[in-house]
Amino acid sequence: MSDVTLALAVLFPILLLLGVPIYAALGITGLVVTWLTNVPLVFATQSILNGLDNFPLLAIPAFILAGNLMESGGITNDIIRIFRRSFGHVHGSLGIVTILSCMFFAAISGSGPGTVAAIGAIMIPAMIRQGYPAPYSAAVSATGGTLGVLIPPSNPMIIYAIIANVSVTDLFAAGMLPGLIVGLTLAAVAYFAARRSGAVVTQVQDEQEQDSVASLMWQGKWALAMPPIVLGGIYTGLFTPVEASVVAVAYALVVSLVVYRSMTWEGFNRAFEGAVLMGGALMIVVACSTLFARTITLERIPQELVELFSLISSEPLVILLLINILLLIIGTFMETISAIIILAPILVPLVRNFGIDPIHFGIILIINIEIAFLTPPLGVNLFVGSQIAGVSIEKVFRAILPFIAALIGLLALITLVPGLSLLIPSLLR
Amino acid sequence: ADEPNPIDWTSAPEVDGQQVMKLGHSVNMVWSSHTATLKRFAELVQIYTNNEIKAEIFPGAQLGGEREMMQQARQGVLQVTLPATNNAAALAPTLNVFILPYLATSTDEVNCLQDKITPLIVDQVIEEAGTRIVGWENSGWRAFFYKSDDPIEKPSDLANLKMRVPPNPIMIASYEAWGGNPTPLAWNELYNALQQGVVEGGDNPVTDVIGMKFHEVINRMTKFHYTILTHPIMVSERWFQSLSPEHQEAVLRAGKEATDYIRWWQPIDEANWWQQAEDAGVTITEIEDESEWIEKARAIWPDYYDSLGENGEELAQTALKLVEECKAEM
Amino acid sequence: MRHFAIRLIYAAAALFLALMVSSLMLQIVAREFKLPVDWTEEMSRFAFISMVFLASAYATIKRRHLRVSVFSDFVARRIGNRAVAVFHLTILFGFDSVMVWYSGYNFVDGLQFANISPALGFNQNILFAAMCLGFGASALVNLTDLVAVLTGRGDGTLDGGRPKERHA
Ligand code: NA
Ligand code: NA
């Protein structure tokens, strides 16, 4: 084993196990590998800073800020009231609501973590106050957020399509049916997991909650107007999904200041402090993971792994199984976009050789990415969920296991039945 | 993969004392003239150094964006990189001279200008950015791609379109001079933005337009000649100075020959891409008379002499004189 | 003094976050009304990057960084909190210091070899100053806590987020 492999395979897990913050574990391993390979150490700080120079990341702190402002401005409260009145008596129903909201938001956003930040910032506090366990609330939002990359549009799909030289439109179309299947399955899992989680639905305490749903909806019109404004703005080309995050901030501010007149200086400050703390903790991990990914790239470790398996078998299904296992492993510690940029150029020619349709393979890759978003040590959706809910990664991860099991089952299904991915693109052509 | 393969240079065996030359670039696709240039360069370096320098290519901005890779080359993380001239100019302002709109207006003029002016600016670029230009690649003239009922034919046609502009001050100013609406937008947001109508278009060579799949979300392109997308082959000066004179010679020769090769190959390839654009249903407009475009764009030159580094105005005049010489020789 | 410095870091991070949001908002408005504003995308990105490093320092102060604590809690129960805390704080202080040194180097080196942004004309290497400051603040916090643990005045745990007075 070379020094570099040793550092990656031993030092990194040890640092994590010993409870060193994840950003430092990634950063230290990256530094050590940089030093071992005689690369100037300025490379490390440069990679960490430039890892943040990525526009779509801006949506995450902005959506978190929007959620916090809605919470302190009382907008979230209105939404919760409507939920409680309409679904409060159905045990586990908010899990379904969360997944369905994620599906809707996924249909305009191309990012996984962006979707959790947008939906989770409202749904996690809503669920917790309704009596759902915090880890469950974080888990269901983090999982629902992964639909952001499967239901079109999808940023990772665009990158993959360019590398694999397939049509983005076809790939988007290929994601529709799997997106629907995965979304509905996750909604079912969310329902059953909620029933098992020991959620205690709290009694209605609020006077106003005795009102009819229609009257509550009228009272909550400003809260309810937010999704149509954000979604409508994106659909009509007024702003991009990333820009939508600041529209949400502006809307929350205006409504709570002008309409509700409920925003206090303390509330405002608390919203910012929360967004700063979560944004800092999340984004520094993403920054340090960039260094980690680059050191792996410089050492050509993914390439060597892939070369290994083309020697193992010549059976397409065996190759797909091996690739799925590799992707699941790499997905635990590597950030999505880096993983695609590094792996797709080597994997696409390999699967083409075995007669596998590159569009079908693209969907397989995306489902793997969904799982990668949820698995520690580097699972950005998992982190966003755990930060918003304020519970430890371990607890959220335990609550996420049933969802991961479902996703692995769906991955097998989608791998074995190419028609699920290829039917809609062939109809549209 | 370990068997030596006479038509695959990457299969040349590893030998003792062999140096590794790392090449980084930002393009993901195997199709580009960009990729072809670096492969050719890598292969020639390996041949001319008798396998004493072996190349490893890192595509798709795996190691960072184009400017970052230039910094890495200066600091010795990478040995070779191929940044777009408009991006490289952020670190080496001298290169902004190539961005001056309508400086050269045909590919032959561009090639001739590159050959004549590079020896004059190579040291200045080393001083600015720590990287040495050893050759050039042309990716083709930037063309408008956009979604619109009407074609862009004259500058005033830009008034109703929101166009994404490459991040370069001279390019932004050119759009403003034509009365357009240059919109800043991250490159990785562009496909979605075109699809949703946040912007209506942008400008890139046809290979990029097809390669990035923009043809799926636009319906028109307009050919004109305000600037060509070029990439200098940049070598880390720190690394270059550490090489033996024989190896330095080999690197320079490989740079020169890779340039000659791509100048032959790229136009053949580009014609093919225009054909693909047409087959994909893109309506292509050619501007017959570019004089209004030229007049408005050239008027901004004096505002940007300062951005060409020290002696900017002198450099611009030299470039203009060289282009005239080139025209006379043709 | 210490309290003031902490407020200052938070205020700077919050201001950068506000700057990021407002320049993106301006980008949307300017595009719709065809105003000649071309620097919004840059401004928001630079504000975001600066915000992250300062916010990360603030997360160090509040001990809100993401980590996997199950095993280290188990070890701490066996060999004592102090040993584990000394280990964590030493490692973090070491990492922060290396980051301070090299981001400082990148900053100084970057003043000579500028990387000028197109619209704002801003030397992007100046962002390394935010990185250097953020990791510097983080290093100071970790060092102070390390000293406190070694002299028996603190527990040095990395689990914050609970309302606990760390610097009593
Ligand atoms: Na999506
Ligand atoms: Na993961």
**Beta strand pairing status for B201-204 and B143-146?**
antiparallel
Is the domain of A123 the same as that of A165? yes
Residue A184 makes CB contacts below 8 A (sequence gap 6+) with: none
Report the 10 Å Cβ neighbour count for B322.
Answer: 20
Mean pLDDT across chain A: 89
B181 to C34: CB separation less than 8 angstroms, yes or no: yes
* pLDDT in the model for residue B42: 96
Q: How far is CA A164 from CA A300, A396, B22, B84, B209, in A?
A: 20, 35, 24, 23, 16
* Helix runs in B183-290, H state only: 190-196, 206-211, 237-242, 245-279
Q: For the residues of C6-71, what is the DSSP string, one character each? A: HHHHHHHHHHHHHHHHHHHHHHHHHHHTT-----HHHHHHHHHHHHHHHHHHHHHHTT------HH
A394 to C70: CB separation less than 8 angstroms, yes or no: yes
* pLDDT in the model for residue A207: 59
Phi, psi of A23 (to 5 degrees): -60, -40
- Minimal-distance CA residue of chain B relative to A339: B62
E strand or H helix at B232, and its extent? Answer: strand B228-236
Q: Does A285 touch chain C (CB under 8 A)?
A: yes
* Cα A216 from chain centre: 31
Q: Which one of the ligands is nearest to A375 CA?
A: 2
Please count the structural domains in chain A. Answer: 2
E strand or H helix at B162, and its extent? Answer: strand B162-164
Is the domain of A166 the same as that of A30? no
Is the domain of A71 the same as that of A205? yes
Is the domain of A88 the same as that of A31? no
Q: Which domain range does residue A144 map to?
A: 41-428
List the single range of A51-55, A122-126, C39-43, C155-159 with lowest mean pLDDT.
Answer: C155-159
Is the domain of A28 the same as that of A175? no
E strand or H helix at B58, and its extent? Answer: strand B53-58
Is the domain of A8 the same as that of A19? yes
Is the domain of A207 the same as that of A311? yes
Distance from CA of A268 to the nearest CA of C (A): 11
* pLDDT in the model for residue C160: 55
**Beta strand pairing status for B143-146 and B220-223?**
antiparallel
* pLDDT in the model for residue B3: 65
- Dihedral angle at the C-alpha atoms of B44, B45, B48, B49, nearest 10 degrees? -150
| Distance separating alpha carbons of residues A325 and A317, to the nearest angstrom | 12
Phi, psi of A230 (to 5 degrees): -65, -50
* pLDDT in the model for residue A204: 55
User: pLDDT digit string (tens) for A278-303?
Assistant: 999 999 999 999 999 899 888 888 77
Instruction: Split chain C (168 residues) into runs of 10 and give each run's mean pLDDT.
Output: 91 98 96 86 96 97 91 86 92 98 97 92 97 97 94 77 34
- Coil, helix or strand at residue C118: coil
* pLDDT in the model for residue B29: 66
C17 to A279: CB separation less than 8 angstroms, yes or no: yes
* pLDDT in the model for residue B324: 96
B60 to A341: CB separation less than 8 angstroms, yes or no: yes
As beta bridge partners, residue B138 has: B230
Neighbours of A, requiring at least 3 CB pairs below 8 Å, are B, C
B181 to C39: CB separation less than 8 angstroms, yes or no: no
Q: Does A281 touch chain C (CB under 8 A)?
A: yes
pLDDT at A1 > cutoff 60 = no
**Helix, strand, coil fractions of chain C, as percent rounded to 5:** 75, 0, 25
| Distance separating alpha carbons of residues B35 and A46, to the nearest angstrom | 25
Q: Chain C contacts of A42, Cβ < 8 Å?
A: 102, 105-106, 109
Using CB atoms within 10 A of its CB, is residue C97 exposed (0-12), middle (13-18) or buried (19+)? middle
For residue A156, how far is its CA from the centre of ligand 2 (angstroms)? 15
Place of tokens 């954000």: A230
pLDDT at A193 > cutoff 60 = yes
Q: What confidence category does residue A191 fall into, taking pLDDT thresholds of 50, 70 and 90?
A: very high
| Distance separating alpha carbons of residues A220 and A232, to the nearest angstrom | 19
| Distance separating alpha carbons of residues A392 and C19, to the nearest angstrom | 31
| Distance separating alpha carbons of residues A378 and A387, to the nearest angstrom | 14
Q: Which one of the ligands is nearest to A400 CA?
A: 2
Distance from CA of A348 to the nearest CA of C (A): 33
Point out the residues of chain B with pLDDT beneath 50.
1
Q: How far is CA A412 from CA A149, A370, A408, B226, in A?
A: 18, 14, 6, 52
pLDDT at A275 > cutoff 60 = yes
Q: Chain B contacts of C118, Cβ < 8 Å?
A: 90, 167-169, 172
| Distance separating alpha carbons of residues A242 and B30, to the nearest angstrom | 30
- Minimal-distance CA residue of chain B relative to A242: B189
* pLDDT in the model for residue C166: 34
The DSSP symbol for B23 reads E
Q: How far apart are the first and last CA of chain A?
A: 50
Amino acid in the structure at residue B107: T
CA B177, B180, B186, B187 torsion-angle sign? negative
Q: Which one of the ligands is nearest to A109 CA?
A: 1
Q: Does A248 touch chain C (CB under 8 A)?
A: no
* Helices and strands: H and E segment counts in chain C: 5, 0
Pick from A359, A421, A366: nearest CA to A168:
A359
* pLDDT in the model for residue B189: 85
* Helices and strands: H and E segment counts in chain A: 23, 0
Is the domain of A206 the same as that of A245? yes
How high is the ipTM of this complex?
0.92
- Minimal-distance CA residue of chain C relative to A28: C95
| Distance separating alpha carbons of residues B221 and B205, to the nearest angstrom | 10
Of C40, C41, C115, the CB nearest to B90: C115
Of B58, B72, B191, the CB nearest to A297: B58
* pLDDT in the model for residue C57: 97
pLDDT at A352 > cutoff 90 = no
Q: How many residues are recorded in chain B? A: 330
* pTM for the predicted model, two decimal places: 0.92
Q: Chain A contacts of C12, Cβ < 8 Å?
A: none
- In a mutational test of the C interface, the residue from B72, B86, B87, B183 whose CB has the highest number of chain C CBs within 10 Å is B183
Residue A339 makes CB contacts below 8 A (sequence gap 6+) with: A293, A327, A330, A331, A369, A372
pLDDT at A108 > cutoff 50 = yes
Neighbours of B, requiring at least 3 CB pairs below 8 Å, are A, C
Q: Does A429 touch chain B (CB under 8 A)?
A: no
Is the domain of A398 the same as that of A257? yes
Choose from A4-13, A202-211, A347-356, B119-128 the range with maximum mean pLDDT: B119-128
Residue B8 makes CB contacts below 8 A (sequence gap 6+) with: none
CA angle, A259 then A265 then A266, to 5°: 120
Phi, psi of B87 (to 5 degrees): -80, -40
Is the domain of A7 the same as that of A93? no
Phi, psi of C122 (to 5 degrees): -95, 135
Report the 10 Å Cβ neighbour count for A102.
Answer: 31
User: pLDDT digit string (tens) for A319-348?
Assistant: 888 888 988 888 888 777 778 888 888 888
For residue B211, how far is its CA from the centre of ligand 1 (angstroms)? 22
As beta bridge partners, residue B231 has: B137
Residue A265 makes CB contacts below 8 A (sequence gap 6+) with: none
Q: Does B64 touch chain A (CB under 8 A)?
A: yes
Q: Does A219 touch chain B (CB under 8 A)?
A: no
User: pLDDT digit string (tens) for A368-389?
Assistant: 999 999 998 899 999 999 999 9
Is the domain of A245 the same as that of A373? yes
In which order are the strands placed within the sheet that holds B53-58?
B53-58, B19-24, B80-81, B228-236, B131-141
Is the domain of A16 the same as that of A66? no
Q: Are A280 and C58 in contact (CB under 8 A)?
A: yes
| Distance separating alpha carbons of residues A140 and A124, to the nearest angstrom | 9
| Distance separating alpha carbons of residues A388 and A124, to the nearest angstrom | 7
Phi, psi of B181 (to 5 degrees): -120, 80
* pLDDT in the model for residue B1: 42
| Distance separating alpha carbons of residues A46 and B184, to the nearest angstrom | 24
Distance from CA of A74 to the nearest CA of C (A): 21
Residue A359 makes CB contacts below 8 A (sequence gap 6+) with: A166, A170, A171, A174, A421, A422, A425
- In a mutational test of the C interface, the residue from A26, A28, A49 whose CB has the highest number of chain C CBs within 10 Å is A49
